[in-house]
Amino acid sequence: MKRKAATPHRERLTKIVATLGPASSTPEMIRTLFDAGADVFRLNFSHGRQEDHAERLRAIRAIEAEVGRPVCVMADLQGPKLRIGTFRDGPVPIAPGQRFRLDLSPEPGDGTRVGLPHPEIFQAIAKGTDLLIDDGKVRLKVLSCGDDHADTEVLSGTRLSDRKGVNVPNAVLPLSPLTAKDRDDLRFALDIGVDWIALSFVQRPEDVAEARRLIAGRAALLSKMEKPSAIHHLDEIVELSDGVMVARGDLGVEMPPEDVPSLQKRIVREAWRAGKPVIVATQMLESMISAPTPTRAEASDVATAVYDGADAVMLSAETAAGQFPVEAVQMMDRIARRVENDPMYRTIIDAAHPDPERTTADAITGAARQVARTIQAACIVTYTTSGSTTLRAARERPEVPVLGLTSRMETARRLTLSFGVHAVHSADIHSFSEMVQKATRLAVEDGIATAGQRIVVTAGVPFGTPGNTNILRIAWVE
């Protein structure tokens, strides 16, 4: 990508993910969202046609060429959607204590039964299993079941209507997270060149391994933590993934709401420890779908994710279908900036900082963070091919940007999701001295540093050896 007049870096370390949809489909609106602060654009394959997503991606790449800096694009796969069937005469009333049957019959339902065309559910449930319908508005307890039915008791709820979603919180379903639609969408997303694939309905490490085989290195893989069973395998799933998302909406349906805040912190902490980017998502500024300002509780919610040390915070319907998409991005930007300027923020981040691994690379990267703080450097500079060196620097959660230089455009785009990383696609660099010269020039061009400031540079000798970070240098910007 040829660099033009540089677009200044964000005065913010936490990244913002904006979902595109009917309210944000035009090139002009996407550019406005980028200017407002969006760092990553999410294409939600649960909605819209493949052609719509391809058109949005083309608009993003045109903006990328115009602004001269990498822009990250994430394709979010739908995953299995488990739903009841239809009712003969429309919605039916139900009441706690009532008996209700679910079965495989395609016949329209009534006040006593309805079809559930998912034999996998009947294979996984047992007496005592809870079933949630319509995002938990209806709760049923299984009294008895067979291969093609379940007799249940209504625990809570007042009505059932056509095709409402079903959740089975306490069972691992014998389902792949990749349906036929997802596999087709995955092929399409990879062909048009997205940077991240977000995988829904992750229940176990094997689900992540399956997706990795299909992606085959053509994009980074982000696992959405939305199932209780995934929490039981958190360490393994984080290890197998390139990043994770705290998908609080679905997680909050299948688990008690009071459990979600602590789980959010646990997931963020585990991803941070592993050096993998983590997004906190769902209902962050929900009221801004229809209002120009958020509730104070929502502002506190976004701030909490930033205080937790998340790499990114995400907007869903607020930007995809809301009436105030630009204002939502601007509000999230303002909240993140305000938190990062709070003296307590740095105290909290430093206290939560994970221990370094006992490697030379971690020792050098940790030292770079400390040196940058001591001399008040403008930035930390890394050079990377795969992205691992820059991710290690982002794991340190430094107080200044990480200027990540890479000769691979796909690496630059993927790194844009990570905390504090200002990724630059640059021609291949052949020596440490060339890297220092280029870094000082780019830091000035992109508004990160000014003449007379210092930057901290990490690299490996022999130069260009992946994962061989073993040298630290302080350079003056002239």
Q: Are residues 131 and 184 in the same domain?
A: no
pLDDT at 299: 98
Say how far apart CA 160 and CA 93 lie, in whole Å.
7
Say how far apart CA 357 and CA 355 lie, in whole Å.
7
Phi/psi at 87 (nearest 5 deg)?
A: -115, 140
Arithmetic mean of pLDDT, 40-56: 97
Residue 85 placed within a domain: no
Q: Are residues 381 and 315 in the same domain?
A: no
In tens, the pLDDT along 329-371 reads 999 999 999 999 999 999 999 999 999 888 988 999 999 999 9
Which strand ranges, in their side-by-side order, compose the sheet holding 130-133?
A: 113-115, 99-103, 149-156, 138-145, 130-133, 166-167
DSSP 253-295: HHS-GGGHHHHHHHHHHHHHHHT--EEEESSTTGGGGTSSS--
Q: How many CA atoms lie within 13 A of 215 on its CB side?
A: 26
Task: Name the pLDDT band for 6 (thresholds 50, 70, 90).
Answer: low
- Among the listed residues 10, 56, 224, 265, the single catalytic one is 224
Report the DSSP beta bridge partners of residue 425.
406
Residue 10 placed within a domain: no
Verify whether residue 438 is a known catalytic residue.
Answer: no
Q: Are residues 65 and 214 in the same domain?
A: yes
Residue 321 placed within a domain: yes
In tens, the pLDDT along 207-256 reads 999 999 999 999 999 999 999 999 999 999 999 999 999 999 889 898 99
Arithmetic mean of pLDDT, 125-132: 96
pLDDT at 465: 67
pLDDT at 308: 97
Distances (CA, A) of 25 to 42, 66, 324: 12, 18, 14
Q: Are residues 418 and 467 in the same domain?
A: yes
Q: Are residues 130 and 199 in the same domain?
A: no
Arithmetic mean of pLDDT, 182-203: 98
pLDDT at 73: 98
Q: Are residues 209 and 324 in the same domain?
A: yes
- Among the listed residues 129, 152, 282, 390, the single catalytic one is 282
Task: Report the CATH number at residue 455.
Answer: 3.40.1380.20
Task: Report the CATH number at residue 120.
Answer: 2.40.33.10
* Domain boundary, last residue among 117, 146, 167: 167
Region of poorest pLDDT, from 5-14, 101-110, 408-417: 5-14
How would you class 110 by CB atoms within 10 Å of its CB: exposed for 0-12, middle for 13-18, buried for 19 or more? exposed
**234-271 burial: b if 16+ Cβ within 10 Å, else e:** beebbebbbbbbbbbebbbbbbeeeebeebbbebbebb
- Among the listed residues 10, 12, 15, 42, the single catalytic one is 42
Task: Report the CATH number at residue 317.
Answer: 3.20.20.60
pTM of the model: 0.95
Q: Are residues 24 and 122 in the same domain?
A: no
Q: Are residues 142 and 246 in the same domain?
A: no
In tens, the pLDDT along 157-179 reads 999 999 999 999 988 999 999 99
Arithmetic mean of pLDDT, 297-312: 98
Verify whether residue 395 is a known catalytic residue.
Answer: no
Q: Are residues 335 and 367 in the same domain?
A: no
Verify whether residue 42 is a known catalytic residue.
Answer: yes
Arithmetic mean of pLDDT, 63-73: 95
Arithmetic mean of pLDDT, 136-150: 96
The two counts, helices (H) then strands (E), for the chain are: 17, 21
pLDDT at 5: 47
**How many domains does one find in the chain?**
3
pLDDT at 7: 64
Residue 1 placed within a domain: no
- Among the listed residues 3, 81, 83, 334, the single catalytic one is 83
Q: Are residues 258 and 337 in the same domain?
A: yes
In tens, the pLDDT along 393-406 reads 999 999 999 999 99
Task: Using the predicted structure, report yes or no on whether residue 468 has a pLDDT greater than 90.
Answer: no
Verify whether residue 204 is a known catalytic residue.
Answer: no
Distances (CA, A) of 369 to 278, 366, 401, 402: 20, 5, 10, 10
Q: Are residues 461 and 384 in the same domain?
A: yes
> Which residue range(s) make up the domain with 403?
355-476
In tens, the pLDDT along 308-331 reads 999 999 999 999 999 999 999 999
Residue 238 placed within a domain: yes
Residue 8 placed within a domain: no
Q: Are residues 186 and 311 in the same domain?
A: yes
* Domain boundary, last residue among 133, 167, 201: 167
Task: Using the predicted structure, report yes or no on whether residue 1 has a pLDDT greater than 60.
Answer: no
